[in-house]
Amino acid sequence: MKLGNKFIKKKFDDIDERIDFMIEFCHTLQLENKELLLKIKGLEEEIDKKNETGKQFSEQEALIQNKMDGLLKKLNVFSNEGPDEYHSNV
């Protein structure tokens, strides 16, 4: 009968050890999960900044293109008119 009790005690000790390991492992996974969530948040913020920078670049590019178009129109008007006509418009 004592042999059965020792066997049962050993099994409970083994189960207790495994449960402790699983609890510790879960805590480790929870910490890793928090770190990954923070990393994801940081990466999302970087993406937002890059998107905003891209938007600003596109707006500047459009403004530059509009100014260039305006200058080209003035140049075309100047080249199609004689020099005397252009000075009289100024």
pLDDT at 87: 56
pLDDT at 73: 94
pLDDT at 80: 85
Q: How many angstroms separate the CA atoms of 80 and 44, rounded?
A: 53
Residue 76 backbone class (left: φ over 0; alpha: ψ -120 to 50; beta: rest): alpha
| 3-56 per-position pLDDT tens digit | 688 999 999 999 999 999 999 999 999 999 999 999 999 999 999 999 999 999
pLDDT at 85: 58
